């Protein structure tokens, strides 16, 4: 339950990238694969618009929540983005929210890209979101926490900032939970995103059998950094 709640709190409210995924989905010839699908933030949105969507996530708890919410409109399976086997012939593979930067280096990214290439139909595309540099935060910025109430429990996640750390961007959040009785517990959660440029990702993709197909930008919001979406294509 906790994995689902924190995923919803920290990721569920992000919408800045959705117009781009919808645009790419509308151009795709075939089903859509959502890597790191979580509880369905992107996939279920696309399914509501009539697309055939399959989600993949390493966390079985998130996959269960996804399938309960989908009610048959889409399907998610538990699996590793670096080594998975699904039906082939997707028209579009998405990797939102810096999934590639959570992997441990170039070897793991190439393994993921090879799996993606193997599952795309000829002419199919992949769209991979990355953050290329440290986010800029104004000195007078005072971010508000993301919050959600579930069955009387209140969950709050406050961004503490980001720092460069040994070839990665380390992003920290203060997670606080308040029980129905008013008891407070808290912990600091940190996510590491390995530094990665669009140029390097495109070079890795070539070794995996995917060619460059352009780039798109997702603008920053008051609460989220901007990102670059690297577009790749499998030869028809």
Fold of 2-133+195-233: Rossmann fold (3.40.50)
Of 189, 198, 201, 191, give the one whose Cα is nearest residue 133: 198
For residue 154, the model assigns a pLDDT of: 96
Kind of pairing between the strands at 53-57 and 75-78: parallel
pLDDT over 60 (residue 30): yes
DSSP 8-state class, residue 50:
T
Give the tens place of pLDDT for each residue, 35-93.
999 999 999 999 999 999 999 999 999 999 999 999 999 999 999 999 999 988 999 99
pLDDT digits (tens, 9 = 90+) for 205-230: 999 999 999 999 999 887 788 899 99
Domain 146-193: assigned CATH number: 2.20.25.110
Element (DSSP H or E) covering residue 160: strand 153-164
Angle between helical axes of 2-11 and 60-70 (0-180°, round to 10)? 70
Is residue 35 within 8 A of residue 95, CB to CB? The reply is yes
Listed residue (50, 45, 39) closest to 18, CA to CA: 45
Q: Is the dihedral of CA 45, 48, 54, 59 positive or negative?
A: positive
Per residue in 156-205, pLDDT tens?
A: 999 998 899 889 999 999 999 999 999 999 999 999 999 999 999 999 99
Q: DSSP letters of 223-236?
A: SS--EEEEEEE---
Q: Where in the chain is the domain with CATH 3.40.50.150?
A: 2-133+195-233
DSSP SS3 for 53: strand
Residue span(s) of the chain under CATH 2.20.25.110 come to 146-193
What is this structure's pTM? 0.93
Q: What phi and psi values does residue 104 have, to the nearest 5 degrees?
A: -90, 70
The label of the residue with tokens 């889409």 reads 74
């Amino acid at each position: 339950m906790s994995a689902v709640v924190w995923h919803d709190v920290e990721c569920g409210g992000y919408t800045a990238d959705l117009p781009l995924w919808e645009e790419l989905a509308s151009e795709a010839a075939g089903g859509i694969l959502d890597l790191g699908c979580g509880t369905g933030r992107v996939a279920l949105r696309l399914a509501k618009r009539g697309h055939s969507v399959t989600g993949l996530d390493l966390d079985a708890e998130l996959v269960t929540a996804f399938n309960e919410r989908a009610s048959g409109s889409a399907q998610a399976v538990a699996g590793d983005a670096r080594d998975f086997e699904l039906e082939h012939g997707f028209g579009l593979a998405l990797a939102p929210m810096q999934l590639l930067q959570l992997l441990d280096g170039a070897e793991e990214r190439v393994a993921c890209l090879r799996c993606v290439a193997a599952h795309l139909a000829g002419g199919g595309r992949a769209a991979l979101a990355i953050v290329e540099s440290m986010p800029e935060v104004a000195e007078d910025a005072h971010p508000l926490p993301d919050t959600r109430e579930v069955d009387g429990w209140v969950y709050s996640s406050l961004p503490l900032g980001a720092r460069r750390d040994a070839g990665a961007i380390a992003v920290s959040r203060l997670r606080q939970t308040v029980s129905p009785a008013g008891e407070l517990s808290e912990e600091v959660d940190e996510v590491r995103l390995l530094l990665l440029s669009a140029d390097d990702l495109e070079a890795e993709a070539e070794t995996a059998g995917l060619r460059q197909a352009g780039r798109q930008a997702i603008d920053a919001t008051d609460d989220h950094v901007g990102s670059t979406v690297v577009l790749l294509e499998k030869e028809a």
